[in-house]
Amino acid sequence: MDDRELQELVENLSLRYFQRSFNHQASFNSRLQTTGGRYLLTSHNIEINKKYLEQLGKNELIGIIKHELCHYHLHLEGGGYKHGDADFKQLLKEVDAPRHCATLPNRPKRKSSMKLYIYACKSCNQLYKRKRSINTKRYVCGRCGGKLKKVIEGS
């Protein structure tokens, strides 16, 4: 499937499920990493992650397009187009669109054993867990202002 076929699919789905035309551009964006698609507020265009079509098939792609069309039509009509808005949730139900897209099977998993640095305040013993190392000469305790010391080095 190329951008022209995607454009036709988006226009057809818009008419079928929303009874409104899609008058902007739909295209594949290979730079999308963590999402199936996105609706651009300024240009009103829709970008789709082609990996979802390749790895999960056309049904998943259709779900992503319907989700993005919910953002599109609600935004243009002045309704609540954000994920937390009641209008958006209601329209998702009406057109049977997913709230979130599935996880790609070929996506690299995060390390379960993430490095963790633990710091303690020398005065009040408040503990701070951090994923990144911090400069203890530059930062102080948020509770009492005391100096910090590294308790556990990231492993």
What are the catalytic residues?
68
Contacts of 131 (CB under 8 A, 6+ apart): 114, 115, 116, 117
In 10 A of CB 53, how many CB atoms? 19
Query: In this structure, what is the dihedral angle of CA atoms 144, 147, 152, 154, given to the nearest 10 degrees?
Result: 100
